[in-house]
Structure 1
Amino acid sequence: MPELPEVETTRRGIAPLITEQTLLQLVVHESRMRWPIPDDLPERVAGHVVRRCDRRGKYLLLHFDHGCLIVHLGMSGSLRRAPFNEERRKHDHVEWRFDDSRFLLHDPRRFGAVLWHDARHGPVEAHPLLAHLGVEPLGADFTAEHLHRHLRGKQQAIKLALLAGKIVVGVGNIYACESLFRAGIHPLTPAGKLPLPRVRRLHAAIRTVLQDALDSGGSTLRDYVDASGQPGSYFAIHAAVYDRAGQPCRVCQTPIKRIVQAQRATYYCPHCQHR
């Protein structure tokens, strides 16, 4: 699944090209996404200017004067720039056409979303998909004290607490595994049992892992490409534990283990990571 660094990399790729540009046409080739795309959506946005391109968690937010498009890339989606003469691919479901650029949402599994939030209903942050998200992991509000305070009393495993997105948003499966490894924390550790010094290490690890991924353009997933259509490169080279079951730990040579938590694969080093 495209995670926060992949979505932010996409945002950084498209924002300079669409900000203050008029959306000439929104073409919906397939409306049966995670939630059906409204039939009248193309009429709502055609001819209007994109004022900003933001991100909240894993959602891209395309702001217009009268509302906001909420775009989610789903499990295997990508948003890429394409020449006007490029033939549409099989799973290119939505198309944004500007005067000198064209973008296509490619989503083989159709778990992505393109939704509309009308400005008359208040700020887009009040939308049900966004209202309960935690703080941004690279923002000023995400501190070790914030993380420790919200973990206190939780019996839930620390990895699942991170994935839930209610304390801090966007720390998905790959980056949760990598952050816990860097912090030396076993993924099954009850979240509420972590003392502040260990939470400080985890907080620092989360920020470092995500920033490293951003600096390298996002991680390599089989289906992920950035806004220019190029694959990411970071974890193809640098993953410490993710997708390395049975391989030696890069620190201590102990074989990496794989378990399943809430139907998601978890990778960790049984020697370096402690409960």
Structure 2
Amino acid sequence: MKHIADVTILNNGIAMPRFGLGTYKAEGEEVASAVATALELGYRSIDTAAVYGNEEEVGRSIAASGIKRDSLFVTTKVWNSDQGYDETLRAFETSSKKLGLDVIDLYLIHWPGTDKYKATWRALERLYAEGRVRAIGVSNFQIHHLEELRKDSETVPAVNQVELHPRFIQKELHDYCASRQIQIEAWAPLMKGRLQDNELLQGIAGKHGKTVSQVILRWGLQNGIVIIPKSVTASRIKENSEIFDFELSAEELAAISGLDASERIGSDPDKLLF
């Protein structure tokens, strides 16, 4: 993991960048500029979702970048209100049109919600079989959701995108996914800035001449996690990408993991029903 373009190979053989840009709650010119800045800096993975309301802007920035399509990795997600077999197929067409992309690299079920996710998964399998998506996966799925999915499908999700940061490492889920070759991807890897004053992280950052954010992101990478920090600030987008010129020791990695307190800042997937 020495370069921003480093990839992990998903369980279907597709290469996915280990590092990318998240675009949650970024809209209009703000997100268009952020994506353009990221691509100029060497980012090659962009994560969006139907509910973010920014797929058109993301698509326009990708098109304007002039970067070859096969050098980019674009993820989007089907929202809760669009779950179900036919509903998901329609939602995908809408996302594809907004992004201006015939093929999406990774399409995720945004939340498990209710048992509708099984019908949604069948729709994703169809899109995958038809070549409209290169990989399919889930987001915010717990072990029992993945086990339920396994009962009715032979297709193992390529990715599970979940809340994950030093205060919420989800070790049991991470281990489960690793044993089944499901790549864990972290949203809110920086805990939305809430770890900046942590003394342990500040000490490790000072030792390496890095920022707390850079140390956290490096911790994620060295734990085999795909990370997609969100920012719309050019300087922060650049800072987040400068994590490939140092390594944390085994002791530092363990100390950071020791900050775990099962402290979730987002919704609990078992309580978000629709």
**TM-score, normalization by structure 2:** 0.27
* Bigger Rg, which one: 1
